[in-house]
Chain A
Amino acid sequence: MKQLLGILSLALLVAPGMAHADEPQAGAGPLVRAMRDELTRSVEQLRLPDTAAPYYLAYRVNDQTNVGVSAEFGAVVHRESTHHRTLHVDARVGGYDLDSSNFFSMSPGSFGRDMEGLPLDDDYDAIRHDLWSATDRAYKDAAATYARKQASLKTQAESSDHAGDFSREPASHIVVRRASSPLDLDRAAALAKGLSMLARTYPQLQGSQVTVGGMSGRQIFVSSEGTMTDEDGAVVILTATLRTQAPDGMPLSRFVSFSAASLDALPTREVIEREIGQAAADLSQQRGAPEAEDYLGPVLFEPRAAAQLISTLLAPQVGGAPAPKTDSSNAMFRSMSGAETELAGKVGERVMPAGLRVEDDPTLDRFAGLPLVGGYAADDEGMAGQKVVVVENGILKRFLMSRAPRKGFEHTNGHAHVPRYGPPKAGISNLIVSAKKGTSGPDLRKALLAEAKAAGRPYGVIVRQLDDAAMTGDVTGMLRASRGGSNVPPPLSIVRLMPDGKEQPIRGATFATLPLRTLEDIVAVGAEPAVVSGYSGPLGSVSSVAAPALLIKRVDLKKPTGTQRKPPTLAHPFFVGRQPG
């Protein structure tokens, strides 16, 4: 939770050029004045004797409060609130066609530097001093990287695909003030504690962690091109993770998660408790369920699992920023520098069945009545976030772009996300999958059974939830999944749908690797979407993915392998000699 992306919390207007916002000195606080003044001085004077001056310079400052609480079995385990300001400097040497960016090498600073800390006090001089030293480092890094890049390019064949390194864009002025207040730590703790107390009514559970994490803050961006953005926002994510073991020792878990712009915007306590209760009941039932068998056939991903699947398979591929060049032949190093999207070269081609549409819209804060938390007015390069239709009627139309251009997509559409380390990436904000014609729930089940019959399977499979290590914090689960060699996390909630329409829970299934083209095998799409939100990427930003149920014709599921540790030898101390109500 190190990074703030402006999160739309209320449906307030994005106001390009809002009155007074772009008046440099009048009304600007010490922080903004320091940013502008050091930027101006650097642009005018910063230059090494034998190197070009930076042709572009930008500062991004995040002033952010993070709050996190967790509770287990009715008591608070963690409770933390931090407030910090971080600075990110983008200094570029060269020109728009060829500059110091998009290049990874072993030279210092080529990976980017960690965010710099800035004072919290609005002390103009202290802030400016930090800006000065950070700018100096960033410029020298850029100069060194540019020299290496030029040397490297001399030995490499000219690429006909080169579309430049940095797109030319008009300056933007975006100021968004939202009525958001920092998350109340006491209220968050009381909520987590109260919800985790529910575990005392479920003797079968071994663990029941409830976390409430939130951030609120402000992102300010200024650049030598005259761009100025200033936006604030907030997000809260509540997650309850329930764990148990089957009698043979197999670990089982479920989570429920809610996101909103504030504690008050979360669903009511009753709704959350009902979902936790449902998950606990499902989990109890799954303890006695049979183990999964190997299965190759149709799988119906219910909306939540479908959104998780899209988030795993498709979301990482819709960014169009080209892979950075490198002068290293080391394979591991090359892979670290970032891969090209698997969808490269597929524009104009079918990637999903006709009727399906995929779009990303940072300007939305709600979809089909469900909250989206990935939105912003300005992206991490100060550019206005725009709605982008990526797939239309099953055909790939375009990519989400930052200012790193690609042939055919020479301009940004406001999807730059700057990770803690490294260059900006183009990525999702609120990714929405929808269909022209949705199929009702009962009809989807019929379609599943029909597909199963056609494939010669005695039953169909419904997946309701996939594991999500970022939610459950289940590192061992993550390892388990990676050992299984699959790119898709294992299903936590999975049932067989028998020909008579009855459901039978199963456990222990894992996916074989699912290629991206799995999405071409979608044979039916539901009508009601679900939204999953969370942090994407290792130090990622908050994003949301909305999708309806997806029926996929052929999915390869594997039965569990290996042995498990037995359930605890002793009974749960709380339930010894106690008959839960």
Chain B
Amino acid sequence: MRAWILACVLVGCAAPKPAGVERTPAQVEHDAPKHLEIDRTPLAAGAAPAPVLSAMRAELDRSMTELRAHGDPAPYYAAYEIVDRREVDIGAEFGALLGASDRRTRSLDVDVRVGDHKLDSSHPRREEDQFARFARRWGKSNDVPIEDDEAALRAALWLATDARYKDATEDLVKVRSERAIDVREDDTSDDFSEDSPASFVGPPAALDLDQPAWDKRVRSLSEVFRAHPELVEAKADLRVSAETRYVVTSEGASLQRGATHARVMFSVQTRADDGMDVQLSDWIDASGVARLPDEATLRARVQALVDRVLALRAAPVADPYVGPAILDGKAAGVFFHETFGHHVEGHRQKDDLQGQTFAKKIGEHVMPDFIDVWDDPTVRALNGVELNGAYPFDDEGIAAQRASLVEQGILKGFLMSRSPARGFLHSNGHGRRSPGSDIVARQANLVVDPARVVTPEDLKRRLLDEVKKQGKPYGLRFAEVEGGYTNTSRSAIQAFKVKPVVVFRVYPDGREELVRGVDLEGTPLTSLSTILAAGNDFAVFNGYCGAESGWVPVTAVSPSLLLGQLEIAHKQKGHDRPPVLPPPTFPRGTTEGGAR
């Protein structure tokens, strides 16, 4: 069962206001102006190689020289990646600090390939079930010294290289023997592309955080919750990280790239009178603490979150429903990430264990012809919002590139790592992983880019038209989702699931009513084909995506979408009752503005 949880989280960036043109019902079918401002500022290079990069190069060169001369078989490719990460977490609830942690790790991944580009030790083996694929890599990530001590670093690289070289040697024997007795795979693409990784030396990332000031700020933000003791859980968190990735390959590439990240997160939980747990979260991602919104803005976000969860607590429970629906931009982003993005990851197209939903659909219509979809890690910000999925080079050292996936509704390409698939011989810089996993193609910044867009008001009118046409009592609008997951494995149903948290019924008179307890499921091809129209309110969804190569930061961008048909089910509900005793109240006068 490969049901990858996508714990993707929404950034609450305010959708840009549509152009303020007064429209009459007669104008419903008219296009609205499209606003998609793309920032591709390149990363600054020109730094000196860090000692860790030099140690990696020295040990890799020694290993390849010796193993090429004496190894039987000799490796044809090897690469090291070290991820140096420092992460600081600060959490608070109800005005009190929960704790802080400050963690620094350097994780090493070694890739060694024996055989040749055509057939090598990495070739997927049928005998190996999916669990075994995981198990053989589990625990193989090595933590290496966080100090710049060349002798200690090289000692760690030496042992890890030897272990991986021996793994590869054993794997190639198994690959060849399996090939001798088994039928040919459907897709006979090479195992490793002929590509040229780049060399780039940028400054290592440094964590710049005034911790006492942020302790105070996080504590103060959580004071807003004191006015609402009926919240069972209510937390404010700050997570700041500085990460430098070092890659060296036997093809000569050396990369050193740093990135900082900051996330503020608020999460609240309360319980409805019928016992249903109601949870909501709000996140803001940025490329550093300095780029986070100011305290007043954050405080307003906390208050808005509290108001929303309390409204949700009092809202009626949704009924099962099949009919037209609007997905607001962020929800639509998650929807595309699940229904489409995961299915166009290159390695899934040739792996026989995969469902291969889109493998043979290049050149065919997979969605309505007014929709383009592309993924571009080089986009750093969109409409002024920084994107989580931005990077200049992937974990194979390949320069990130824009991958055109769908043009006018027709499938054009896949997200590629250096694992080629039929008709796609080269990487487009989407080979990614978190430490401890094998690299596969992953999404970065997925953008749903319709050629024709209408204003949100027009989109709502279209929804109401559909409601009437289909004879439904109401339509639905999905305002927020907290994430979702999708299954791509052949052994299970090709389905996705998105977890909506804020959903409205939209009645024919235009009135909207909040409901709770909704689950959204479906199958990708069916769902995509029912898209009827798109808004011009592009929204950015920043999150993290978990799949076989680990957790990677991603972004999905979409305007709101009108779907002709969506199906919702009842969410599983807890059986607990609301708290027996009232919460102990917080004394008045201790809150600082949060009460109002």
Interface residues of B (CB under 8 A from A): 59, 62-63, 66-67, 70-71, 92-106, 139, 143-147, 149, 151-159, 161-162, 165-166, 219, 226, 229, 232-233, 576-577, 579-581, 583-584, 586-587, 590
Q: List the count of A-B residue pairs having beta carbons below 8 Å apart.
A: 148
- Is A117 among interface residues, defined by CB-CB distance under 8 A? yes
- Is A159 among interface residues, defined by CB-CB distance under 8 A? no
By a CB distance below 8 angstroms, the chain B residues around A277 are none
C-alpha gap A139/B581 in the complex (Å):
11
Within the complex, what minimum Cβ distance (angstroms) separates B581 from chain A?
A: 6
Whether A73 pairs with B151 at a CB distance below 8 angstroms is: yes
Whether A75 pairs with B147 at a CB distance below 8 angstroms is: yes
Given A47-B580, A72-B156, A82-B101; A133-B59 close (CB under 8 Å):
no
Within the complex, what minimum Cβ distance (angstroms) separates B543 from chain A?
A: 24
C-alpha gap A76/B94 in the complex (Å):
37
Whether B98 pairs with A128 at a CB distance below 8 angstroms is: no
C-alpha gap A313/B260 in the complex (Å):
51
By a CB distance below 8 angstroms, the chain A residues around B98 are 84, 117-120
Within the complex, what minimum Cβ distance (angstroms) separates B345 from chain A?
A: 31
- Is A292 among interface residues, defined by CB-CB distance under 8 A? no
- Is A559 among interface residues, defined by CB-CB distance under 8 A? no
Give me 20 A-to-B residue pairs in the complex whose CB atoms sit less than 8 angstroms apart, sorted by A's number. Answer: A46-B580, A72-B145, A73-B149, A75-B145, A75-B152, A78-B146, A85-B99, A119-B92, A119-B96, A120-B99, A125-B226, A125-B586, A126-B93, A126-B95, A126-B96, A126-B226, A129-B94, A206-B159, A573-B151, A573-B154
Q: Which chain A residues (263-297) contact chain B, with CB distance < 8 Å?
A: none
By a CB distance below 8 angstroms, the chain B residues around A118 are 98
- Is A485 among interface residues, defined by CB-CB distance under 8 A? no
Given A77-B143, A569-B162; A41-B99 close (CB under 8 Å):
no
Within the complex, what minimum Cβ distance (angstroms) separates B59 from chain A?
A: 6
Closest to B226 in A: A125
C-alpha gap A411/B100 in the complex (Å):
41
Q: C-beta contact mask, A108-149 vs B, less than 8 Å → 1, else 0?
A: 000000000111110101111110110011011000000000
Closest to A193 in B: B147
- Is A556 among interface residues, defined by CB-CB distance under 8 A? no
By a CB distance below 8 angstroms, the chain B residues around A133 are 232-233, 579, 583
Whether A570 pairs with B97 at a CB distance below 8 angstroms is: no
C-alpha gap A120/B583 in the complex (Å):
20
Give the residue of A78, A126, A574 whose beta carbon is less than 8 angstroms from that of B105. Answer: A78
Whether A74 pairs with B151 at a CB distance below 8 angstroms is: yes
Within the complex, what minimum Cβ distance (angstroms) separates B78 from chain A?
A: 12
C-alpha gap A512/B224 in the complex (Å):
62
By a CB distance below 8 angstroms, the chain A residues around B155 are 72-73, 572-574
Closest to A565 in B: B166
Whether A574 pairs with B232 at a CB distance below 8 angstroms is: no
Given A119-B93, A120-B97, A574-B154; A75-B149 close (CB under 8 Å):
yes
Given A79-B104, A84-B99; A572-B158 close (CB under 8 Å):
yes
Give the residue of B97, B157, B577, B583 whose beta carbon is less than 8 angstroms from that of A48. Answer: B577
Closest to B55 in A: A573
Give the residue of B67, B92, B95, B590 whose beta carbon is less than 8 angstroms from that of A570. Answer: B67
Within the complex, what minimum Cβ distance (angstroms) separates A67 from chain B?
A: 12
Whether B96 pairs with A120 at a CB distance below 8 angstroms is: yes
Whether B590 pairs with A125 at a CB distance below 8 angstroms is: yes
By a CB distance below 8 angstroms, the chain B residues around A569 are 66-67, 70-71, 162, 165
Which of B62, B66, B103, B581 counts the most A-chain CB atoms under 10 A from its CB? B581
By a CB distance below 8 angstroms, the chain B residues around A130 are 93
Within the complex, what minimum Cβ distance (angstroms) separates B307 from chain A?
A: 20
Interface residues of A (CB under 8 A from B): 37-38, 41-42, 45-48, 71-85, 117-121, 123, 125-130, 132-133, 136-137, 139-140, 193, 200, 206-207, 475, 565-566, 568-570, 572-574
C-alpha gap A363/B104 in the complex (Å):
38
C-alpha gap A133/B157 in the complex (Å):
49
By a CB distance below 8 angstroms, the chain A residues around B158 are 568, 570, 572-573
Whether B151 pairs with A132 at a CB distance below 8 angstroms is: no
C-alpha gap A542/B581 in the complex (Å):
37
Within the complex, what minimum Cβ distance (angstroms) separates A62 from chain B?
A: 13
By a CB distance below 8 angstroms, the chain A residues around B104 are 79
By a CB distance below 8 angstroms, the chain B residues around A117 are 98-99
Within the complex, what minimum Cβ distance (angstroms) separates A54 from chain B?
A: 11
Whether B151 pairs with A200 at a CB distance below 8 angstroms is: yes
C-alpha gap A491/B542 in the complex (Å):
52
Whether B587 pairs with A125 at a CB distance below 8 angstroms is: yes
Closest 9 CB pairs of A and B: A119-B96, A75-B152, A75-B145, A126-B96, A123-B96, A75-B149, A121-B96, A126-B94, A568-B162
Give the residue of A83, A123, A573 whose beta carbon is less than 8 angstroms from that of B59. Answer: A573
Closest to B166 in A: A565
C-alpha gap A128/B582 in the complex (Å):
12
Given A73-B156, A119-B93, A574-B154; A132-B584 close (CB under 8 Å):
yes
Closest to B219 in A: A121
By a CB distance below 8 angstroms, the chain B residues around A132 are 579, 581, 583-584
Whether A125 pairs with B577 at a CB distance below 8 angstroms is: no
Whether A475 pairs with B139 at a CB distance below 8 angstroms is: yes
Give the residue of B99, B143, B144, B157 whose beta carbon is less than 8 angstroms from that of A83. Answer: B99
By a CB distance below 8 angstroms, the chain A residues around B581 are 41-42, 45-46, 132, 136
Closest to A243 in B: B159
Whether A123 pairs with B95 at a CB distance below 8 angstroms is: yes
C-alpha gap A207/B104 in the complex (Å):
21
Whether B152 pairs with A38 at a CB distance below 8 angstroms is: no
C-alpha gap A83/B98 in the complex (Å):
9
Whether B94 pairs with A123 at a CB distance below 8 angstroms is: yes
C-alpha gap A570/B104 in the complex (Å):
30
Within the complex, what minimum Cβ distance (angstroms) separates A390 from chain B?
A: 38
C-alpha gap A65/B165 in the complex (Å):
41
Within the complex, what minimum Cβ distance (angstroms) separates A201 from chain B?
A: 13
C-alpha gap A503/B213 in the complex (Å):
64
By a CB distance below 8 angstroms, the chain B residues around A73 are 145, 149, 151-152, 155-156
Which of B99, B166, B219, B580 counts the most A-chain CB atoms under 10 A from its CB? B580
Whether B232 pairs with A570 at a CB distance below 8 angstroms is: no
By a CB distance below 8 angstroms, the chain A residues around B66 are 569-570
Within the complex, what minimum Cβ distance (angstroms) separates A87 from chain B?
A: 12
Which of A46, A78, A121, A193 counts the most B-chain CB atoms under 10 A from its CB? A121
By a CB distance below 8 angstroms, the chain B residues around A121 are 95-97, 219
By a CB distance below 8 angstroms, the chain B residues around A78 are 105, 143, 146
Within the complex, what minimum Cβ distance (angstroms) separates A71 from chain B?
A: 8
C-alpha gap A200/B102 in the complex (Å):
30
Whether A136 pairs with B580 at a CB distance below 8 angstroms is: yes
Closest to B223 in A: A126
Which of A206, A570, A572 counts the most B-chain CB atoms under 10 A from its CB? A570
C-alpha gap A42/B96 in the complex (Å):
23
C-alpha gap A119/B99 in the complex (Å):
7
By a CB distance below 8 angstroms, the chain A residues around B147 are 75-76, 193
By a CB distance below 8 angstroms, the chain A residues around B103 are 80
By a CB distance below 8 angstroms, the chain A residues around B590 are 125
By a CB distance below 8 angstroms, the chain B residues around A79 are 104, 146
C-alpha gap A193/B158 in the complex (Å):
20
C-alpha gap A133/B229 in the complex (Å):
10
Closest to A51 in B: B580
Whether A128 pairs with B145 at a CB distance below 8 angstroms is: no
C-alpha gap A123/B586 in the complex (Å):
11
C-alpha gap A112/B577 in the complex (Å):
18
C-alpha gap A84/B158 in the complex (Å):
38
Given A133-B232, A569-B165; A77-B146 close (CB under 8 Å):
yes
By a CB distance below 8 angstroms, the chain B residues around A565 are 166
Closest to B586 in A: A125
By a CB distance below 8 angstroms, the chain B residues around A46 are 580-581
By a CB distance below 8 angstroms, the chain A residues around B96 are 119-121, 123, 126-127
Q: A126-B93, A140-B580 are in contact. List 8 more A-B contacts (CB 8 A).
A: A79-B146, A83-B99, A118-B98, A121-B219, A140-B577, A565-B166, A569-B67, A573-B155
By a CB distance below 8 angstroms, the chain A residues around B152 are 72-75
